[in-house]
A and B are shown apart, each in its own frame.
Chain A
Amino acid sequence: MQRPTGGRAAGVPLWRWVSGFLRERWRVLLRLGVWSVLEAGQTFVVGYALARALDAGFLAGNARTGLLWLGAAGAAVCAGAYGTGRVYGVVAALVEPARDRLVRTVVARGVREADAGALSGLTQQVEIARDTLAGVVMVTRSFLFTAAGALIGLFSLDPLLLVVVLPPLLAGVALFAVTLRPLARRQEAFLAADEALAQELGGVLEALRDITASGAEERVAGSVGRRTDAELRTARALARWSAARVAALAVGGELPAVLLLVAAPWLLGHGVTPGALVGALAYVTQSLLPALHNLVHGLGTSGSRLTVVLRRLTRSDSRHREQRPPRGDGEPRRRPHTARTRPTTAPPSPPPALSLTSVTFTYGPGGEPVLDGLGLTLPQGEHLAVVGPSGIGKSTLTGLVAGLLTPQRGTVLVHGRPAPAPGATVLIPQEAYVHTGTLAENLALFRDAPVPEPELLAAADAVGLTPLLTALGGPGATVSPAELSAGERQLIALTRAYLCAAPLALLDEATCHLDPEAEARAERAFAARPGGTLIVVAHRISSARRAGLILVMDGARTTCGTHAELLRSSALYRDLAGAWTPRPAPLPR
């Protein structure tokens, strides 16, 4: 299977995306040309045969010849239709790879950036791109070959006819080309306004209860009204510009017919036969006019839609990158306060499993630091629990250790190497990731090869997955995340992490949906991994009690110590520990 080429497409200018794509497929374009020649041939024959049927047949009193010529035209129609059918197949060879490429781009971005918008991109925008690209290719091709067939036909009937037909046709096409850009701009403005309105309405209709409760109906009606008016303005501008299409069509499609009539005495005087004149009128009104009509209407709308959608699908992702802030320049902001660290052992010992030095992290330029000068050293084999109120930055800490986030200041070393160290850390977040597939596939996600069954079964036993594994029907059973409970998904994620070779395991509330006994079993399994270091963002106090060392996060007052030490030194820890009672008694008032 091909590697995703989508990454290359992100951020390149649109025209280069399209032209590059077409250049790679010149063979397909050639095939498209070959089959289209049949259609052009049909256009040519139908007009030419009509002229001959009149001149050599019906007008000459030779009805049989006339019918034969019309029969030839009928054969040409069938051949042309066959060509049309084959053209669809060739268009598929152009459109389907483009769709494949867009799907790869969208999926790669969705996976890389957790972009939920990628989903609508995949199902809607990619399809719009596919349909409009096909439309653009079809109408452009159809116009080019129909025009070629008709012009060759006119030339064959009498070169003088071209003198009359060609100038207005070219003028009409030029007029259309000139108006294409302003028309496309208005089409894009309309699509943007329409989308903005849809988004606003989506937000409002999700929040009706809260809007009513806040009494903000008028304000909301005002802002929706402004979007509605903006959309109306763009729709009106677009409607007015549609007159430009009609003008191009009148000049390029209708005017040649009128000119043929005006020039008829002159043409007839210069040897043009009556049949040729009728044939020319047929070319103009029945081939060129419809082809130009399709071009003007198809390209005007589809082209703009395609432009808008492709631009969105292949955009560069500045917004998402901002969430991974660049490394700060290291200017000290305020006095770092270092958490108490456990002294490491004698010099020749291996590097600590984790070493944080003056780590400061802020989510954005306008925000306050979540971590401010945090220092922490964990020797290999240590078991650390992290506790603190929600939103205090525990997940930020695990994100920094896993290398998902980069601190503005300070260093994060995992086994002596700077984070991210995917081979050395494994992160199990609260929302366990299980994908549709077999259980064995899910468990081997972090491995390069399938896990040998004995090892897999041993891991399942250690973490506590065995009952689920048996119930599902063994490692080969297909799992569907929607059919598993949150706790079952967590067990699978935990076993997968257990099977991974990374020595530093980060359990970020990874057991919150398990009952206390299952949680204890899973945590003990991780703590018992030889040489394995464990950091648990604790969900229950019992989980903190199992850890050798506890980090209490409380904004400015981050402290680290054992359970007993913290009960003495940290008010927050006493609060947290106190909030957990086996059965809360009613508080006396």
Chain B
Amino acid sequence: MNSRPDSAGSVSGRALSLASAHGSAARCAALCAVSTAATAAGLLLPALLGHTLDLLLNRAPAARWVAGCAGLVLLLALLDGCAGVLTGLCDAQATAGLRRRLTGHVLALGPRAGARFGAGDLVARLVGNAAQAGTAPGALAALLAALAGPVGGVVALGLLDPWLAAVFLAGAPVLALLLRAFARDTSACVAEYQRVQGRIAGALAEAVGGFRTIRAAGAEDRETDRILGPLPELSRAGHRMWRVQGRAAAQAVTVAPLLNLGVLAVAGLLLARHRLSVGDVLAASRYAVLATGIGALVGQLAALGRARAAAGRLAEVLAEPAPGHGTGGLPPGNGLLQLRAVTARRGGRTVLDGVDLTVPGGTTLAVVGRSGAGKSLLAQLAGRLADPDAGEVLLDGVPLRGLAHAELRRAVAYAFERPALPGTTIEDTIAFGLTAATPDAVRAAARRAHADDFVRRLPDGYATRTAEAPRSGGESQRLGLARAFAHGGRLLILDDALSSLDTVTEHRITETLLTADTDRTRLLIAHRAATAARADRVAWLDSGRVRAVATHQELWREAEYRAVFGDAEGATSDLGAATGSGTEARD
């Protein structure tokens, strides 16, 4: 699902230009020029060296030629230096440019990007693929050099004497065959190595999950020994890998010198017949070395291929259209929410089908329904985390699509079942938003979300780093709630945001949350009957349609409505405990 075949061709066509556009074009052109010049100088040098050597051996005046050699060597060093620096600069520039553009686009896409590609995959694209695609300018320049060097070497050999080129070309296929054997041989023992490594990693992952059990029993050493049980096996597989690699390397390092010696033997015979000079023999030897550089061409092609593929994966992300925002503002109001004939599809399935729903401003609507009824999608549409495929969502009479970005986000606050909590410290995490909430607002919101108590018990209170604060599922939910409260606009949407709380805490929060507040509308996805019972009205969602909108008491008379809460209700008999995935590990 990550690559659409129809667009793949055009995507990778644009990919490289995408990558190189981000390194400044002038710099990339300079890089190509420099590396081409360096290759040319490298091809010129052996001939020059050979001729100079001949002059020297014949005791002829050669000062100018020696100076020429020195100059060419210096030039070559300078060009190499420039090429190295330029490659580094171009790659870095291109990578950074790609990352900036991708980050901007992914943020504009928002949850749509996560839904389309998955968070882990996006990380791989922005971190790994961007770096790979960024090497495109350097890889392209290096490819030219890698191609010109060997071709030039063979041509130069041919110019010295056709026999030299013939010997080289006859021996070269052997080189290619042996290099291919290298790639084939290692894969089997690499797989074995990774399998054993996976076993150790798996056992370690289990032990990390069970660390309280292990530590309380003082069984750390014993468990460590047990996990390390397969280590000798890993070591054996590792040794095998090196042995296979050694064999392959031995083959690889034989071929180039033997080819070189073959060329030298022919050159020597030609020398004995006075068809070549000593300088020509030296030049032939160096040209043979340049020509064997053809092996590097395979690597360069692969690098360019990787860069191209990576750029293609980035282009896929950029091809996803980002939702636009209007410029409109909201009239004064208290959050009248209207859904008009809203239809939304996910993966070819119609999840919401012509939903009409009105939530009067300042009231609370609970949305209930079996799992898969479309509750979460409804919550996403209501605050424009997603757009409907048909129909319109209006807030105080204004279509959400027409609202300016800042106006929309100021008006709508969300809390989720499993909130992600960006931000550095707990304080920053609760204040996180369009504009940061004040410290007072942060603390007031935390108190309303019953998060203040446990935050103050953290190692550094509100200044504790969020990533290092040990949290249970219920505590994360309360921080997410506090963030929503700290930025509360005229519409508050709670997407199952109380599910991991113990019943007492949930009761206390809903009491404050659902008491009459004429300033804002509250939309909450509820799984517990007790929660639905406290809302002004309940929208009963069934297979993508609104089956009824009424009070909980009225609906409770219907057996099917009661069945919606059926099994889930058993879980609410938990006492002071997080339900579901909430874990309570605080040490």
Distance from B269 Cβ to chain A, minimum over Cβ atoms (Å): 6
In the complex, are the beta carbons of B422 and A115 less than 8 A apart? no
Q: Which of A239, A249, A324, A579 contacts B503 (CB 8 A)?
A: A579
Q: Chain B residues near A322 (CB, 8 Å)?
A: 459
In the complex, are the beta carbons of A70 and B576 less than 8 A apart? no
Q: Is B201 interfacial (CB 8 A cutoff)?
A: yes
| A235 and B504 alpha carbons, distance in the complex (Å) | 54
Q: Chain A residues near B502 (CB, 8 Å)?
A: 389-390
Q: Chain A residues near B222 (CB, 8 Å)?
A: 445
Distance from B256 Cβ to chain A, minimum over Cβ atoms (Å): 9
Q: Is A262 interfacial (CB 8 A cutoff)?
A: yes
Convert A57-85 into 0s and 1s, putting 1 for each residue whose CB lies closer than 8 angstroms to a CB of B: 11101110011001001100110111011
| A116 and B228 alpha carbons, distance in the complex (Å) | 17
Using a Cβ–Cβ cut-off of 8 Å, how many residues does chain A contribute to the interface with B?
Answer: 184
Q: Is B77 interfacial (CB 8 A cutoff)?
A: yes
| Of B108-116, B140-148, B169-177, the one with at least 4 CB within 8 A of chain A | B108-116
- Contacts A204-B103, A246-B80, A539-B576 known; 9 new A-B pairs at CB < 8 A: A74-B258, A86-B246, A88-B243, A204-B107, A205-B119, A214-B487, A278-B282, A394-B584, A580-B575
Q: Is A315 interfacial (CB 8 A cutoff)?
A: no
Q: Which of A214, A388, A389, A392 contacts B409 (CB 8 A)?
A: A214
Q: Is B507 interfacial (CB 8 A cutoff)?
A: yes
Contacts A/B (CB < 8 Å), 29 sampled: A1-B225, A42-B257, A62-B272, A63-B268, A77-B261, A81-B250, A100-B235, A103-B231, A108-B224, A112-B224, A208-B119, A213-B383, A216-B422, A232-B92, A232-B93, A239-B87, A242-B81, A250-B77, A258-B70, A264-B57, A390-B577, A396-B587, A399-B587, A429-B210, A436-B202, A445-B217, A508-B584, A587-B534, A589-B533
Q: Chain B residues near A282 (CB, 8 Å)?
A: 282, 285
From residue 486 to 539 of chain A, which have CB atoms closer than 8 A to chain B? 493, 500, 506, 508-509, 512, 538-539
| A219 and B231 alpha carbons, distance in the complex (Å) | 46
Q: Is A453 interfacial (CB 8 A cutoff)?
A: no
Q: Is A387 interfacial (CB 8 A cutoff)?
A: yes
Q: Is B185 interfacial (CB 8 A cutoff)?
A: no
Q: Is B99 interfacial (CB 8 A cutoff)?
A: yes
In the complex, are the beta carbons of A396 and B586 less than 8 A apart? yes
In the complex, are the beta carbons of B235 and A96 less than 8 A apart? yes
Q: Is B247 interfacial (CB 8 A cutoff)?
A: yes
Distance from A492 Cβ to chain B, minimum over Cβ atoms (Å): 11
Across the interface, name the chain B residue whose C-beta is closest to A67. Answer: B265
Using known A-B contacts A107-B200, A111-B223, A246-B80, determine if residue A84 contacts B70 with beta carbons closer than 8 Å. no
In the complex, are the beta carbons of B534 and A114 less than 8 A apart? no
Convert A95-136 into 0s and 1s, putting 1 for each residue whose CB lies closer than 8 angstroms to a CB of B: 111011001101110111111101100110000001000100
Q: Which of A77, A123, A214, A540 contacts B574 (CB 8 A)?
A: A540
From residue 65 to 85 of chain B, which have CB atoms closer than 8 A to chain A? 66, 69-70, 73-74, 76-77, 80-81, 84-85
User: Which 9 A/B pairs are nearest by Cβ-Cβ distance?
Assistant: A364-B459, A239-B88, A433-B210, A215-B409, A88-B246, A212-B110, A207-B420, A114-B211, A366-B460
In the complex, are the beta carbons of B111 and A209 less than 8 A apart? yes
| A87 and B245 alpha carbons, distance in the complex (Å) | 10
Across the interface, name the chain B residue whose C-beta is closest to A402. Answer: B216
In the complex, are the beta carbons of B504 and A114 less than 8 A apart? no
In the complex, are the beta carbons of B238 and A96 less than 8 A apart? yes
| A402 and B472 alpha carbons, distance in the complex (Å) | 20
Convert B259-273 into 0s and 1s, putting 1 for each residue whose CB lies closer than 8 angstroms to a CB of A: 011001100110110
In the complex, are the beta carbons of A387 and B208 less than 8 A apart? no
Q: Chain B residues near A285 (CB, 8 Å)?
A: 286
| Of B122-130, B158-166, B366-374, the one with at least 4 CB within 8 A of chain A | B122-130
Q: Which of A221, A405, A430, A506 contacts B107 (CB 8 A)?
A: A221
